[in-house]
């Protein structure tokens, strides 16, 4: 059947609830009933099906005709967007009530299996004609047909209107509950991110104390190193000063990729002094994307993680590669290392935001998942991080961002 597919009946309302509604309706009206999904497949067990219909459905051909007839009834109800009363392929009167939520067709209630008398219409004679090709025993057909309830058309129409109103109201409530849950999840996710940002800001405040005093002291040390001929020490102190100055800026501020790469260069200068030849870093950034704006501290936590948790545990160290390019209209940052790698289970746990053990870190307290969440906070769920890793061979992290120039 035609329709929209944002929701399914099973997602909106518990199947057991639908079954109870259907059973009560069938009990109160005497009508047989079943609820089907958008494809016409039953989602409940049939209620009060007549012996006549069970006999008609007793082989594949009869069942196929019944299902095709139900499908046509459902389509007619969908077209009119109201309950639809019709004669089935075996001559009984049936009805189909569409279940429509937020302009979306999600299924139908099919009911009936009754005789609805009409002037100048021989219901039994018509039944014989319609079922002739099914090769059923006429005596048995007659016996079972006589047991079918006779219900006037007005009563049948009233029953159709009743179940239409009830089923749609209940499903509307179900959709409202889904929307409310989605909203609550969004509010919860936003609160978690705000708490994360607040905690990050507090850590920055703890580091500031008096930033001017800190930077003036570092610059004094650098000048003393220059006077003493310790050019390497001077370089590291200046790198640390610039790195701290950048990291103490507003965490929610966007900065250019060029500024972020400068911070990475300062960070790598400090790490080279610590690890020497054990770690070799290569940076390859397309000059055409240097003006793209990205969240502050996007690359540094990823590079830090690669060095501390990927390369440092290896006796011989390894390499880290950092690249940035225009990838089919998106900014793609890649940080790859030749470290110890990690399992797929560990990657999954990171992106499930599971509570992680305390691990050592430097410069920032931001982890991989926090960078991922901040990117999605700024730009939406289609952006963020993707990880690939192989134990003993290394890890690659792909960061997808929009090409924002301002």
Domains of the chain: 9-178 (3.30.450), 276-406 (3.30.565.10)
Q: What is the pLDDT of residue 358?
A: 45
| Cα–Cα distance, 120 to 297 (Å, whole number) | 83
Torsion of CA 118, 120, 121, 122, to 10 degrees: 120
CA pair distance 297, 366, nearest whole angstrom: 8
Q: Is 107 exposed, middle or buried (0-12, 13-18, 19+ CB in 10 A)?
A: buried
| CA 266 to each of CA 84, 192, 240, 300, 333: distance values in angstroms, whole numbers, following the listed order | 74, 31, 7, 10, 18
Residue 291 is predicted with a pLDDT of 92
Per-residue model confidence as pLDDT tens for the chain (406 residues)? 343 345 666 667 677 777 887 888 888 788 888 888 877 778 888 888 999 999 998 888 998 898 888 888 888 888 888 888 888 999 998 888 888 776 777 778 888 888 887 777 788 888 999 999 988 999 999 999 999 888 887 787 787 777 777 666 666 666 666 666 666 767 777 777 777 666 666 565 555 445 555 555 566 666 666 776 777 777 777 667 677 666 656 566 788 999 889 888 888 887 877 778 888 999 999 999 999 999 888 898 899 889 888 998 888 889 999 999 999 899 999 999 999 999 888 888 887 754 444 444 443 334 788 889 889 888 988 999 999 999 999 999 999 999 976 5
pLDDT at residue 85 in the model = 87
With 0-12 / 13-18 / 19 or more C-beta atoms within 10 angstroms meaning exposed / middle / buried, residue 261 is middle
- How many other C-beta atoms lie within 10 A of the C-beta of residue 96? 27
Q: What is the pLDDT of residue 172?
A: 66
Q: What is the pLDDT of residue 154?
A: 79
CA gap 319, 395 in Å, rounded: 11
Q: Which pLDDT value is given to residue 10?
A: 63
Query: Which residues, 6 or more positions from 330, have their beta carbon under 8 angstroms from its beta carbon?
Result: 400, 401, 402, 403
Pair 272, 253: CB distance under 8 Å: no
CA dihedral 75, 76, 77, 79 (to 10 degrees): 90
Q: Give the tokens for residue 349.
A: 């746990």
Q: How far is 106 from 100, CA to CA, in rounded Å?
A: 6
Neighbour count for residue 243 (Cβ, 10 Å): 21
pLDDT confidence of residue 189: 73
**List of E strands, 338-378:** none
Whole-angstrom distance, CA of residue 351 vs CA of residue 388 = 12
- Reported as type and span, the H/E element at residue 334 is strand 330-337
- Return the structure tokens found at 290: 């240097």
**How many Å apart are CA 390 and CA 216, to the nearest integer?**
45
Rounded Cα distance between 243 and 363, Å, is: 9
Virtual CA dihedral for 338, 346, 330, 259, nearest 10 degrees? -60
Question: Rg (Cα) of the chain, in Å, rounded?
Answer: 35
So what's the pLDDT on residue 204? 55
Other CB atoms within 10 Å distance of the CB of residue 57: 18
For 9, 51, 307, 343, 367, the CA distances from 44, given in Å and listed in that order, are: 11, 19, 57, 43, 48
């Amino acid at each position: 059947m035609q329709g929209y597919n944002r929701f399914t009946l099973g997602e909106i309302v518990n199947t057991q609830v639908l079954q109870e509604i259907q059973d009560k309706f069938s009990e109160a009206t005497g009508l047989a009933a079943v609820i089907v999904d958008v494809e016409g497949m039953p989602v409940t067990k049939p209620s009060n099906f007549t012996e006549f219909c069970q006999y008609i459905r007793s082989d594949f051909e009869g069942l196929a005709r019944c299902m095709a007839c139900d499908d046509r009834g459902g389509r007619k109800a969908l077209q009119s967007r109201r309950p639809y009363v019709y004669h089935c392929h075996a001559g009984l009167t049936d009805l189909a009530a569409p279940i429509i939520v937020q302009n979306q067709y999600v299924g139908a209630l099919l009911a009936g299996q009754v005789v609805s008398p009409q002037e100048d219409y021989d219901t039994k004679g018509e039944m014989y004609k319609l079922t002739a090709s099914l090769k059923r025993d006429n005596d048995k057909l007659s016996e079972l047909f006589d047991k079918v309830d006779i219900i006037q058309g007005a009563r049948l129409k009233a029953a159709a209107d009743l179940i239409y109103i009830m089923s749609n109201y209940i499903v509307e409530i179900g959709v409202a509950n889904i929307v409310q849950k989605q909203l609550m999840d969004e509010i919860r996710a936003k609160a978690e991110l705000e708490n994360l940002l607040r905690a990050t800001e507090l850590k920055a405040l703890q580091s500031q104390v008096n930033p001017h005093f800190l930077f003036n002291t570092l610059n004094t040390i650098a000048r003393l190193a220059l006077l003493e001929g310790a050019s390497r020490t001077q370089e590291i102190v200046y790198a640390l000063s610039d790195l701290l100055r950048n990291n103490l800026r507003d965490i929610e501020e966007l900065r250019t990729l060029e500024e972020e790469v400068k911070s990475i260069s300062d960070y790598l200068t400090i790490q080279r002094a610590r690890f020497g030849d054990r770690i070799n870093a290569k940076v390859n950034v397309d000059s055409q994307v240097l003006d793209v704006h990205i969240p502050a501290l996007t690359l540094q936590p990823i590079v830090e993680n690669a060095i501390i948790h990927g390369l440092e545990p290896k006796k011989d160290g390894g390499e880290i590669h950092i690249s940035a390019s225009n990838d089919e209209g998106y900014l793609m940052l890649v940080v790859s290392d030749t470290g110890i790698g990690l399992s797929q289970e560990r990657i999954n746990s990171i992106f499930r935001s599971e509570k992680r053990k305390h691990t050592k870190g430097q410069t920032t307290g931001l982890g991989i998942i926090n960078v991922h969440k901040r990117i999605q906070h700024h730009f939406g769920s289609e952006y963020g991080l993707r990880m690939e890793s192989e134990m003993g061979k290394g890890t690659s992290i792909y960061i997808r961002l929009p090409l924002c120039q301002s």
